Amino acid sequence: MSRIFDPSREAIKEILGFDLAETRAGQDIFQEVIKKVRQDGIEEGIKIGRLEGLFEAIKLGMGLKFGLEGIKLLPRIAKEKDITKLDTIKTAIRLATSVKDILATSVKDIEELLEIES
């Protein structure tokens, strides 16, 4: 039978035979873990903010440019969690003349269109 690791302070104390948090090394490790978790949280928060911001820009653009036909695509677009793809969709809205143009757009297509536009 496999045992699931319990990372609690008590479980670690039981395994080691002493309280790691009461040692200098343990405190240093604890501080590093806190710093890493905090940084990961910040990075995840930034990513979520970018995703939400891109989706709001897409929602506005689709509604303004394509009306109800554009709005109908939003549930599909909302499932996308790749920032590059959402940014591509946002750019496609600006360049597209129809919703079909957006559906057919890839990152490569947008890059080519932006080069032509420059």
Per-residue pLDDT at 107 exceeds 80 = no
Quote the tokens at residue 84.
Answer: 């590059």
- Give percent of the chain above pLDDT 90: 31
Tell which wins on pLDDT, 51 or 6: 51
The tens digit of pLDDT for each residue in 7-58 reads 677 777 787 787 877 888 877 877 887 888 889 889 999 999 999 999 999 9
* Dist. CA 81–CA 66, nearest whole Å: 23
Contacts of residue 12, defined as CB under 8 A and 6 or more positions apart, other chains included, come to: 20
Which region among 2-11, 80-89, 106-115 has the lowest average model confidence (pLDDT)? 106-115
- Check if the beta carbon of residue 90 is closer than 8 Å to that of residue 77: no
* pLDDT for 2: 47
What average pLDDT does the segment 95-110 reach? 77
CA-closest candidate to residue 63, choices 53, 74, 54 = 74
CA-closest candidate to residue 105, choices 53, 48, 62, 63 = 62
Quote the tokens at residue 38.
Answer: 């905090």
Does the predicted TM-score (pTM) go above 0.75?
A: no
* pLDDT for 1: 42
